[in-house]
Amino acid sequence: MTEQYHVPGPGDPKYGVPGGTIDPGDALDDAEFARLDPAQDQLDNTVTEHDPKRYAEEGRGEVRPVGTEEALVKSRGQWNQALRRFYHDKTAMAGLIVFVALSGFALVNTALNPNGYTNLTTDYLVAPSWKHPFGTTTIGVDLFQACMRGLIVDLQVAFIVAAVSTIIGIGVGAAAGFFGGKIDAVLMQLVNLILMVPTLVVLIVLSNTVRNSSDSTVLLALLVAALSWTYMSRLVRAEFLSLRKRDFIEAARAIGASPQRIIFRHMLPNAMGPIAVNTTLTMAGAVLLESTLSFLGLGIQPPDVSLGHLLFDGQSYATVDWWVFAFPAAILLLLILSIFVVGDGLQAAVDPRKSRNR
């Protein structure tokens, strides 16, 4: 009796070929079977470190040495590759280390001594020492404690502004760029109208409201965010207008993908590079804007402090008691530069259109 093989039939949707039996000479070879089952073909050609010998014995193709660059690249996802590129960017990592160090010092100091910036001493305008690492102010406040509190306030403003403006900007820009037509026209008219409003003038006008607020930090951040999302929306709209005519977007439409899936699955990841950079620019801009308002006496109000407020208090002593002005200025400069450097590194790492190797 002739030996026969069973071929999966219509009852097995994985292969989708007619059922029946065939002689051994007519059996599907490895190439034909792989064509019918791409998942099996992918499994056969995947380099694993668990049992490479078994794949060699079964004759499933060449087994490459585990740990080669090619195998690692294949096994990584898009975000893992982005993290790897960012990790190997020395400038971006240096900026991240500075940013994390500043934030960490401020958070730890606030947790250990939450009211240190309000404690008054009898040491007035004392130069930096072991007791007072940054010296003291004109009213006897330890400048190190005040700088750490000011750093916390600036970080709060930066993160709130970045989060709110990015969410609004992505929503408006994605809708305008993807749908186009009347939706695009109406949303862009709104954006242009807000762009005509001078941000600093509006904040100065509303400064009295900020001063009288029980939480001036949050209110100021929300006001800045309400006027800062327009640049993000224009950037996202431009990216979406460029992407929506690409072949992979047309293919997604052709297979019936919903607008939400196309936006969040296909278009938004391809726009993440510019979005990441603009978010970091927004954070840096928010810190600068808050510092400007506080320097003018219109931002964060006592008893709370910010780096801009400390600069305002120390400007008249900059050439005499240098530490009162120098330390807040140095911390503010390091904070802004680190944010800019991290943003540049994120652009190169996250943008899927960049090369794998920088």
Q: Which two tokens stand for residue 322?
A: 């240098």
Strand partners, 28: none
Q: Please, what is the angle between helix 143-179 and helix 90-112, to 10°?
A: 130
pLDDT at position 52 is 44
- 3-state secondary structure at position 21: strand
Task: Output 317 or 36, whichever has higher pLDDT.
Answer: 317
Nearest partner of 137 among 118, 123, 152, judged by Cα: 123
pLDDT at position 351 is 64
CA dist., res. 252 & res. 53, Å (int):
40
CA dist., res. 325 & res. 14, Å (int):
71
pLDDT at position 148 is 92
Phi, psi dihedrals of residue 180, rounded to the nearest 5°: 65, -160
Q: Which two tokens stand for residue 95?
A: 């900026």
Residues 17-34 have a mean pLDDT of: 44
* Residues whose CB is less than 8 angstroms from the CB of residue 277 and which lie 6 or more positions away in sequence, other chains included: 343, 344, 346, 347
Domains of the chain listed by start with CATH number: 5-77 (no CATH), 79-350 (1.10.3720.10)
Residues 241-266 have a mean pLDDT of: 87
77 pLDDT tier (thresholds 50, 70, 90) = low
